[in-house]
């Protein structure tokens, strides 16, 4: 009933599930805020004055790319830590690391090397958090809204970008040229990081992680906390978690590296790599980082480029939230991706043609042609938020079997950070050398990605995780589902009563 899916259980449990799922996605908010804050800070005279540099292009490229490099390394290496210490402690540790990095950036050292070191350290924390938070979220969410809550990573990312743009605009027109003008936008990252790290103190560890460690009393306490109930349905869910976990451990026993090279698995790894590569090739991540620089090319300088960037961020958040609520489970993955890539390419070509065939803006005043090109960029942004922005996250998570799911999702997340690093490093140089032809470059990449999606991407909408084995013609098709059903049959009586005894848990 209504826009949101129906979730069984108590109202308190449903509300807590929504709250926790949204809260843990503050990792996505941090990612978005940091993505958006950089471009605006680099336009501030106070920042350039304090750090005494003249090569704007190099500083822009290095500032963004160093943090992405740290995040890439962390995303690849964090899973052993998460497996050993748990999701909760790993994210808390990541937030401590992130805050140390931000403090190094904010202190008045007036040293670019110190600022760069802070970027790398903050990147290590950010990459760790964005890699672990989706798994923590999925392991605590009711299955009826697991996909919706997982999509909140992209929605909170867009919210972070939007807020960062407006903060940049606010300090540029509301504060005098001083160190505070750039320290405030950068330092405000400490607030959501502290909220996430400290807020997790009152949350329970992942149910599934605790059960995997055979800490069943704590796992039961965690499940009853998040569901706000200990009735029959919760007991049945706990029993199913134990049965599913036993099958997962059986399925992953003896995993050999060569299995990753089997045709079906190799194909899926290439898809996870390719879909996140395609997300970066659309050009919209570059626009998120360097919005003010792009809009300066189209409408001239002054504070209006920051104002337009703020509106751009607001549109980003509204569009992706609309998609998640209304369309995420109605449109097929494959047609959405290749059609949207073609449309974005057309928009970028129009932007470049108009920009090159009309007079450039004078005296930092936008003309009608500049306004038209900005409108096309906004349309492109809307298309992206309905397709390549949110879709790679669930797609890369749903195509893998249990045996290689952790490896596969790690490949996807690491790819996202790797090419985030690549394009953030090269885009400032492209803007400097090519101007609006940068849009044509990304249009060509969009056409290539549309072709690749049309030829190679498998449709997964409405299909269960078990059906993926059939879709990808795996040798192990239906093995996991068969074992799961056999396990449930053994664990439940015919009338549905549980045979597994739920551990006794003392009241808090």
Q: What DSSP line would sit under 321-335, residue for residue?
A: HHHHHHTTTTS-HHH
Per domain, the residue ranges of the chain are 8-203, 258-462
CA angle 151, 156, 160 (to 5 degrees): 155
SS3 496: coil
H-type alpha helices, 107-145: 112-140
Question: Can you tell me which residue has the tokens 């060509």?
Answer: 444
- According to DSSP, the residues that pair with 498 across neighbouring strands are 492
Residue 60 near residue 42 (C-beta atoms within 8 A) = yes
Question: Can you tell me which residue has the tokens 């029993």?
Answer: 239
* Tally of CA atoms within 13 A in the half-sphere of 63 that contains its CB: 28
| 177 φψ region: left (φ > 0), alpha (ψ -120 to 50), beta (else) | beta
Q: pLDDT band at 492, cuts 50/70/90?
A: very low
| CATH architecture of the region 258-462 | Up-down Bundle (1.20)
CA angle 119, 125, 129 (to 5 degrees): 135
Closest CA to 72 of 422, 496, 385, 399: 422
Residue 434 near residue 297 (C-beta atoms within 8 A) = no
pLDDT at 85: 92
Q: Dihedral of the CA atoms 450, 455, 456, 461 (nearest 10)?
A: 70
Closest CA to 34 of 197, 159, 178: 159
- For 78-121, the pLDDT digits (tens) are 888 988 899 999 999 999 999 999 999 999 888 899 999 999 99
Q: Is pLDDT at 200 greater than 70 in this prediction?
A: yes
Q: Do domains 8-203 and 258-462 have the same CATH topology?
A: yes
> Homologous superfamily of 8-203 in CATH?
MFS general substrate transporter like domains (1.20.1250.20)
Q: Cα–Cα distance between 446 and 384 in angstroms, integer?
A: 11
Question: Can you tell me which residue has the tokens 């996991």?
Answer: 480
Q: What is the mean pLDDT of the chain?
A: 82
The tokens for 198 are 């400290």
Q: Is pLDDT at 493 greater than 80 in this prediction?
A: no
- For 418-472, the pLDDT digits (tens) are 888 888 788 878 888 888 888 899 999 999 999 999 999 988 876 755 577 778 7
pLDDT at 305: 64
Instruction: Dump the DSSP string for 138-180.
Output: HHHS-GGGHHHHHHHHHHHHHHHHHHHHHHHHHHHHHS-SSTH
The tokens for 397 are 């998570």
> Among 267-276, 286-295, 404-413, 452-461, whose mean pLDDT is lowest?
286-295
pLDDT at 357: 82
Q: Which of the two residues, 502 and 322, has the higher pLDDT score?
A: 322
pLDDT at 485: 56
- For 227-237, the pLDDT digits (tens) are 999 888 889 88
Q: How far is CA 246 from the centre of its chain?
A: 30
The pTM for the full model equals 0.77
H-type alpha helices, 175-231: 180-187, 190-199, 207-212, 216-227
> Among 123-132, 173-182, 252-261, 277-286, whose mean pLDDT is lowest?
252-261
């Amino acid at each position: 009933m209504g826009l949101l899916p129906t979730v069984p259980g108590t109202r308190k449990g449903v509300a807590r599930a929504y709250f926790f799922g949204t809260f843990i996605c503050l990792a996505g908010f941090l990612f978005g805020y940091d993505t958006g804050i950089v471009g605006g800070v680099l336009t501030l005279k106070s920042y350039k004055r304090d750090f005494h540099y003249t090569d704007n292009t190099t500083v822009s490229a290095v500032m963004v790319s160093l943090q992405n490099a740290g995040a890439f390394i962390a995303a690849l290496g964090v899973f052993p830590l998460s497996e050993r210490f748990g999701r909760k402690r790993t994210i808390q540790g990541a937030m401590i690391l992130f805050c140390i990095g931000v403090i190094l950036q904010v202190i008045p050292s007036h040293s670019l090397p110190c600022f760069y070191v802070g970027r790398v350290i903050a990147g290590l924390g950010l990459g760790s958090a964005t890699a672990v938070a989706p798994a923590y979220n999925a392991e605590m969410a009711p299955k009826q809204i697991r996909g919706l809550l997982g999509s909140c990573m992209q929605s909170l990312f867009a919210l972070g970008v939007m807020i960062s743009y407006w903060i940049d605009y606010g300090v540029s027109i509301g504060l005098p040229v001083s160190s505070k003008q750039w320290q405030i936008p950068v330092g405000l990252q400490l607030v959501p990081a502290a909220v996430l790290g400290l807020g997790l103190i009152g949350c329970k560890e992942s149910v599934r992680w605790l059960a995997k460690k055979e800490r069943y009393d704590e796992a039961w306490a965690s499940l009853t906390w998040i569901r706000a109930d200990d009735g029959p349905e919760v007991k049945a869910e706990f029993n199913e978690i134990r049965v599913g976990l036993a099958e997962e451990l059986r399925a992953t026993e003896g995993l050999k590296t060569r299995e990753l090279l089997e045709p079906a698995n190799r194909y899926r790894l290439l898809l996870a790599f390719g879909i996140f590569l395609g997300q970066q090739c659309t050009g919209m991540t570059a626009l998120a980082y360097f919005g003010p620089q792009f809009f300066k090319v189209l409408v001239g300088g002054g504070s209006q480029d920051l104002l337009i960037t703020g509106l751009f961020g607001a549109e980003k958040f509204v569009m992706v939230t609309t998609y998640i609520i209304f369309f995420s489970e109605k449109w097929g993955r494959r047609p959405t991706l290749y059609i949207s890539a073609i449309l974005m390419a057309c928009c970028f070509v129009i932007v470049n043609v108009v920009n090159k065939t009309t007079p450039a803006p004078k005296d930092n005043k936008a003309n009608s042609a500049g306004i038209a090109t900005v409108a096309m960029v906004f349309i492109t942004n809307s298309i992206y938020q309905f397709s390549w922005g949110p879709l790679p996250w669930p797609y890369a998570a749903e195509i893998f079997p249990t045996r290689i799911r952790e490896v596969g999702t790690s490949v996807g997340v690491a790819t996202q950070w790797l090419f985030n690093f690549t394009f953030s490093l090269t885009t400032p140089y492209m803007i400097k050398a090519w101007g609006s032809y940068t849009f044509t470059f990304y249009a060509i990449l969009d056409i290539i990605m549309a072709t690749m999606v049309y030829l190679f991407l498998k449709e997964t909408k409405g299909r269960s995780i078990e059906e993926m084995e059939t879709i990808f013609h795996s040798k192990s098709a239906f093995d996991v589902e068969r074992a799961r059903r056999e396990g449930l049959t053994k664990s439940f009586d015919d009338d549905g009563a549980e045979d597994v005894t739920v551990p006794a848990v003392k009241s808090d």
